[in-house]
Amino acid sequence: MTEAELIKKIKELKTIKPRKDWVLLTKSQILGEETPKFELFPFFKPAYAGLFFLLLLVGLIELSQGALPGDPLYSLKRITEKAQAVFVSQEERPNLNLELANKRLEELNKVAEANQVKRLAPALNEFETTKITAKKEVVNFIKNKSEKEAIKVAKDIAPKLNEVNEKEKKVYATLNIESTEESNQTAEKAVVEILIKDAKNSTLTEEQKADLVKVEEYYKSGDYQEALNLFMTGSLNPSY
């Protein structure tokens, strides 16, 4: 190799740049610094772990709202409902539980429409359990009120209670089954008693008087559900 060729090679070496990772590694070794690490999942750092799992939980809760009995996320849906109930006042609990019974009916109806036989028993059980709890709370709530307060509560609860009963009849007719609560209408009885008493103390039209007679007939025969339905769908209903 001639002197001119050697000089040319040396000049070419000056144009060669070392790899960036080699420079960082060499620098850290000389200065005693830690080698920078590439983090593929920064959310798994302790500082972000709490936020990551919170976002994951929120996502699962949102997803669970469409779950049906028998689904993996259904238990989370029920837990969420119970947690929300904690923030509801005692005055609102009867209506809240009736709304939950209505939700259980909607779930049962979806299961029936999709012909999901395996989910039918769990869906029925969920509805019956929720309905019984709701009706017991209605009775206990009315018992602990003064006459004036009981009238207000009965008028407030009656539409939702009647809605659950009428929707139940339709869903159960589709399934060709009978309700296990046919002989237990204590909530309807308690509500209708108060509504009849209040109606008798009010000024009624001839049509309302005629409807009240029919309501009382159903009441005396023990068909409290039909008495409530007539009251809510006839002229005695304030919103009629």
pLDDT tens by residue, 36-71: 554 545 555 665 666 656 665 566 667 677 788 888
The continuous run of DSSP H or E covering 107 comes out as: helix 93-113
pLDDT number for residue 102: 95
> Rounded to whole angstroms, what are the CA distances from 171 to 28, 48, 165, 202?
73, 48, 10, 36
User: Could you read off the pLDDT of 173-226 as tens digits, one per residue?
Assistant: 988 887 765 557 899 999 999 999 999 999 999 999 999 999 999 999 999 999
pLDDT number for residue 98: 94
Residue, of 42 and 108, whose pLDDT is higher: 108
User: Could you read off the pLDDT of 138-151 as tens digits, one per residue?
Assistant: 999 998 899 999 99
Enter the pTM of the model. Answer: 0.72
For 103, the token pair is: 């939700």
For 228, the token pair is: 């409530």
Q: How far is CA 37 from the centre of its chain?
A: 45
Judge whether 101 and 131 are in contact, CB under 8 Å: yes
For 21, the token pair is: 């990772």
Rounded distance, CA 119 to CA 124, Å? Answer: 9
Q: Please give the share of the chain, as a percent, with pLDDT higher than 90.
A: 48
Which DSSP string corresponds to 135-181? HHHHHHHHHTS-HHHHHHHHHHHHHHHHHHHHHHHHHHHHHT---TT
Domain boundaries, the chain: 90-175, 198-240
